[in-house]
Amino acid sequence: NPMDVKTLCLGVLSCGDASGYEIKKQFEEGPFAYIYEAAFGSIYPALNKLTEEGLVSFKEMIQEGRPDKKVYSINDQGLEALKTALHKQPQRDKMRSDTLFMFFLAHLIEPRARQTIYESYLETHKKYIAEMLGEILGEIGRAHV
């Protein structure tokens, strides 16, 4: 089975307390953006289930002019459940890519356009690598403070 959203949420919460919105942001802009896609609509049901199962708890934070925000925390049972999930055999990685689809049909693309697509793909991945290294080095730096 692929990692379920509950496990993904536990993983984010193992790094620190977060609201559902902040968890979503970790998959859109944070370190998990390069690794996994979590549908926003599935995060809140997963957090509710984790709360029911006693793996996380939450505090209601009052926000002025906005609805109260629930900030979730992982507990010891949640951490154990996460560790168990992390010891399973991972599924084979799946990749969806417009660019690779285009490369597959490259014989139908004019050479100059093909070159542009390739260069753009290369630049994007160079940026991903630089950002991932920055995140990793930042995490290492924070861990040693």
Q: How far is the C-alpha of 82 from the C-alpha of 94, rounded, in Å? A: 22
Task: Tell me what pLDDT residue 91 has.
Answer: 81
Which residues share a beta bridge with 74?
56
Q: How far is the C-alpha of 48 from the C-alpha of 123, rounded, in Å? A: 40
Whole-model pTM: value is: 0.65
Give me the residues of the chain with pLDDT under 70, please. Answer: 1-2, 34, 37-40, 95, 145
The secondary structure of 41-76 as a DSSP string is HHHHHHHHHHHHTTSEEEEEE--TTS--EEEEEE-H
pLDDT per position as a tens digit, 1-19: 567 889 989 999 999 999 9
Task: Tell me what pLDDT residue 142 has.
Answer: 79
Task: Tell me what pLDDT residue 120 has.
Answer: 94
